[in-house]
A and B are shown apart, each in its own frame.
Chain A
């Protein structure tokens, strides 16, 4: 871009115009157009350079790595190009289709629905509270948000610890389970139920605060008009709140989906979650084990690229459906 400006500038003066007025007007218009085209890019350049350095370049490297068989060597590893072998191996892996992908997808699906649902309910509650209680409740919610994933996970594990944890004691006391023979962590459903609680607990504050911010911008007149027309609370929520907050729901759903698909820490730190129990493996743990335990960086990179593509696809579908709905309503 810069070069073309320079070239333009260099070319313009020596031209000896026969009809000065028109030509200079032409040149001015051209220059103006050029400035209009280049200015936004020039302004964006610093952030684009940073983004390219921090995001694009690693992404390209991961893409390259996923097409290689990489061997760690002293002073710099050696990658052998293997085409799409890593992807072929990955996609022909029974474990991926039978366990890893279903776990990842169902878990993410459940987490997103429950996080957004619960977060919205909390936001509605906060919106109705007076200032004092709103501050108290928001602070409590923020505390859940601020808790590091590692700490949060250990607390949930501790609560559900078989035989000794609070939940096991309560369930045992009620006669629901036999604490000595029940270990929730070794079963797929139990494991993911606990993980889901953990992720919702950690994720709903973001949704609640964001939706609350949205709720506060919805004009009161709309609700008043609705009430005058005899709309019930239920109708007011679905006919006024939800349409008004569509962009906000779009954002929190997309972000939650991305976060919940790539959950790693919360699974890895749970008993059996680091790979010793295949039944509960998700895509994050799977690619970690492929890359770092088996030193197969290519396979790990291929799994990461797959996850990225999957997320992009899901995000695109979301955006399309939500915007299309928006257009239909208009």
Chain B
């Protein structure tokens, strides 16, 4: 009996497969399109960037199938566990890696080093795309002249504030660090129930603009090797200013010491925060979650020390292809998703910026006051962290956060904490040599 059932099931499966095969014969497959009949691309996408990603991929995948005959299998991954999952798949080799995957820019060095990612520099040139990519973003996924995938979308942090509160007290968004401090002090006095400027110990990219803004760097390259610079006079000056906002001026209460970025965002939607560093993708989500904030938000670039802008981390995701037996087909898919209408559509749905200048300029030209300041920050003052596997490990070990938290707790002075962090960074750099 059991044998019979198994036989019947496998027969049905064979028939089913055959049916699938004949279906895809209808695809037009004309022109120079690749023949993907009967093939399925495995694509890994990060969950949460687009809360409802299904309609987007249904459309994209249908068009891809029409063009190449290949089906696409989308698998959503969690940010928290994705890096481990990728590592395991890479260990497994060509059979286990996805054909196409969304890869965070800071992961590119680590994955590329294993030999799993495909260098697509020539294909990008061939397709005439190399000139149109946003420079900072292209740079983030390029190692020793080899580009590992196409920039897909990107984000940058700026200043988000409560316009209604600012208007009430006649305040303007700050343009220098001193103004930032003055505005926050006024807010603290006038709105004692609100946090005037959260110095969040769990948000690395809140602290970095002050390091860069003072002319510092987390680490610098000397020839082939990297050396920490987080304890340089410039870096320390920036960190001193940033942490003083909490420890000296009391602009950020003790509870904020361990807050991560999502916790700041949560408090902002509850109306408890007056001004904060925040991503370009956040204002729209704030309004979605708290509709009463509609029309009450303002955005500005992060002020520079004495005017201008402080550089802010330019982060994003690549669509990269792994070294599987469907490389060519995978590259077709990447091209389709990261250029033209699909790139624009994805950026729009997710509130991120697209990776090509053409699309980015279109968005900047719309003149949305909650978008334009970020576009300016991205185009003029975007910064990247050192592009090495080691720096990825430094970030994962939370070296900068340890520094900030120990200063906020009052355990160490900024210089002491920075010296310790620098030592830790150099240990990790030394290990990889």
What residues make up the interface of A, taking CB atoms closer than 8 Å to B?
A: 72-77, 161-164, 180-183, 185-187, 271-272, 274-279, 289, 292-296
Asked if B202 and A271 sit within 8 Å, CB to CB, the answer is yes
Contacts A271-B202, A276-B201, A294-B393 hold; do A72 and B114 have CB atoms under 8 A apart?
yes
B 394-409 contacts with A by CB, 8 A: 396-398, 401-402, 405-406, 408-409
Interface check B82, CB cutoff 8 A: no
Asked if A72 and B91 sit within 8 Å, CB to CB, the answer is yes
Please, how many angstroms separate the alpha-carbon atoms of A73 and B114 in the complex?
Answer: 4
Please, how many angstroms separate the alpha-carbon atoms of A72 and B389 in the complex?
Answer: 12
By beta carbon, the residue of chain B nearest A157 is: B258
Partner of B257, one of A73, A77, A186: A186
Contacts A75-B94, A272-B258, A277-B405 hold; do A180 and B398 have CB atoms under 8 A apart?
no
Please, how many angstroms separate the alpha-carbon atoms of A76 and B114 in the complex?
Answer: 10
**Interface pairs (25), CB distance under 8 Å:** A73-B91, A73-B115, A74-B90, A74-B93, A74-B94, A74-B97, A74-B114, A75-B91, A76-B93, A162-B255, A163-B253, A180-B254, A183-B255, A186-B405, A186-B408, A186-B409, A272-B257, A275-B402, A277-B258, A277-B402, A277-B405, A279-B411, A289-B397, A292-B84, A294-B397
Asked if A294 and B396 sit within 8 Å, CB to CB, the answer is yes
Asked if B396 and A293 sit within 8 Å, CB to CB, the answer is yes
Partner of B87, one of A72, A183, A185, A289: A72
Contacts A276-B201, A293-B393 hold; do A161 and B255 have CB atoms under 8 A apart?
yes
Residues in B whose Cβ lies below 8 Å from that of A180: 253-254
Contacts A186-B258, A276-B201, A276-B202 hold; do A293 and B397 have CB atoms under 8 A apart?
yes
By beta carbon, the residue of chain A nearest B397 is: A293
Partner of A276, one of B92, B323, B402: B402
The dominant DSSP class at the A interface is loop
Given contact pairs A183-B409, A277-B402, A292-B83, a sample of 7 additional A-B residue pairs in the complex whose CB atoms are under 8 Å apart:
A72-B87, A73-B91, A73-B115, A74-B115, A183-B257, A276-B201, A278-B406
Please, how many angstroms separate the alpha-carbon atoms of A200 and B396 in the complex?
Answer: 30
Interface check B431, CB cutoff 8 A: yes
Please, how many angstroms separate the alpha-carbon atoms of A116 and B253 in the complex?
Answer: 38
By beta carbon, the residue of chain B nearest A71 is: B114
Asked if A292 and B398 sit within 8 Å, CB to CB, the answer is no
Interface check B428, CB cutoff 8 A: yes
Partner of B116, one of A74, A278, A292: A74
Asked if B254 and A74 sit within 8 Å, CB to CB, the answer is no
The count of chain B contact residues (Cβ–Cβ below 8 Å) is: 36
Please, how many angstroms separate the alpha-carbon atoms of A72 and B111 in the complex?
Answer: 9
Please, how many angstroms separate the alpha-carbon atoms of A295 and B257 in the complex?
Answer: 27
By beta carbon, the residue of chain A nearest B427 is: A294
**A-B pairs with the 4 shortest C-beta distances?**
A75-B93, A293-B396, A271-B258, A162-B255
A248 CB to closest chain B CB (Å) equals 39
Residues in A whose Cβ lies below 8 Å from that of B428: 294
Interface check B110, CB cutoff 8 A: yes
By beta carbon, the residue of chain B nearest A183 is: B254
By beta carbon, the residue of chain B nearest A271 is: B258
Tell which of A74, A161, A279 has the most Cβ of chain B within 10 Å.
Answer: A74
Residues in B whose Cβ lies below 8 Å from that of A293: 393, 396-398
B 28-67 contacts with A by CB, 8 A: none
Residues in A whose Cβ lies below 8 Å from that of B411: 279
Please, how many angstroms separate the alpha-carbon atoms of A90 and B92 in the complex?
Answer: 29
Please, how many angstroms separate the alpha-carbon atoms of A73 and B323 in the complex?
Answer: 12
Please, how many angstroms separate the alpha-carbon atoms of A8 and B110 in the complex?
Answer: 59
Residues in A whose Cβ lies below 8 Å from that of B94: 74-75
Asked if A272 and B405 sit within 8 Å, CB to CB, the answer is yes
Residues in A whose Cβ lies below 8 Å from that of B110: 295
B28 CB to closest chain A CB (Å) equals 35
By beta carbon, the residue of chain A nearest B255 is: A162
Residues in B whose Cβ lies below 8 Å from that of A278: 402, 406
Residues in A whose Cβ lies below 8 Å from that of B116: 74
Please, how many angstroms separate the alpha-carbon atoms of A161 and B168 in the complex?
Answer: 31
Residues in B whose Cβ lies below 8 Å from that of A275: 397-398, 402
Tell which of B258, B398, B409 has the most Cβ of chain A within 10 Å.
Answer: B258
Residues in B whose Cβ lies below 8 Å from that of A75: 90-94
By beta carbon, the residue of chain B nearest A77 is: B91
Please, how many angstroms separate the alpha-carbon atoms of A64 and B257 in the complex?
Answer: 40
Residues in A whose Cβ lies below 8 Å from that of B84: 292
Asked if B258 and A185 sit within 8 Å, CB to CB, the answer is yes
Asked if B255 and A164 sit within 8 Å, CB to CB, the answer is yes
Residues in B whose Cβ lies below 8 Å from that of A279: 411
By beta carbon, the residue of chain B nearest A178 is: B254
Tell which of A72, A276, A277, A289 has the most Cβ of chain B within 10 Å.
Answer: A276
A40 CB to closest chain B CB (Å) equals 34
Asked if A181 and B253 sit within 8 Å, CB to CB, the answer is yes
